[in-house]
Amino acid sequence: MKNCLGCRLSNHEEKVHIVYENEYVTCILDHVPHHSGHTLILPKKHKAEVTELDDEESLSVIKASQLVARTIHALYEPNGVTICQNGGIYNELTHYHMHVIPRNEEAEHFGNMFYGHAEVDEPSESLEETHEKMKEYITRLLE
């Protein structure tokens, strides 16, 4: 779908920082990360809802979330990782995507992020630095 931003992001038609991809999904850094390492997992084919994913896409999303979470834990040592997706009217991208977000003890209520009210701190490093670190770590994991 040419008008779908998620399709353009997952198929390299927009500038993105890809940390991992396979034939079914693309994992990119969130352009406004909650913390360094905040990653989005998008199917390459247009799907709006989790219920539309076929078995291969579903398995690829879950395996990618595990790989990204493992990478985030190793590189950033967060207190935890939140893995989530928003469907229906809460899916502002209108293309299925899963968030993998490093978490530390935040002063504000983390749920505010999902309503557009969270204040996002400056990440500890640039997207380019995060991209290089994560991509290098994932490449080593997969060797």
Domain definitions of the chain by residue range: 5-142
Question: CATH for 5-142?
Answer: 3.30.428.10
Q: What is the mean pLDDT of each run of 10 residues along the chain (143 residues)?
A: 89 96 97 92 97 97 98 95 91 93 70 55 84 97 94
Exposed/middle/buried for residue 2 (C-beta within 10 Å: 0-12, 13-18, 19+): exposed
pTM of the predicted protein model: 0.89
CA dihedral 118, 109, 95, 142 (to 10 degrees): 110
Query: Is-contact 35 76, C-beta < 8 A?
Result: yes
CA–CA distance, 27 with 51 (Å, rounded to integer): 20
Nearest to 35 by CA among 96, 93, 102, 129: 102
For residue 90, what pLDDT is reported?
85
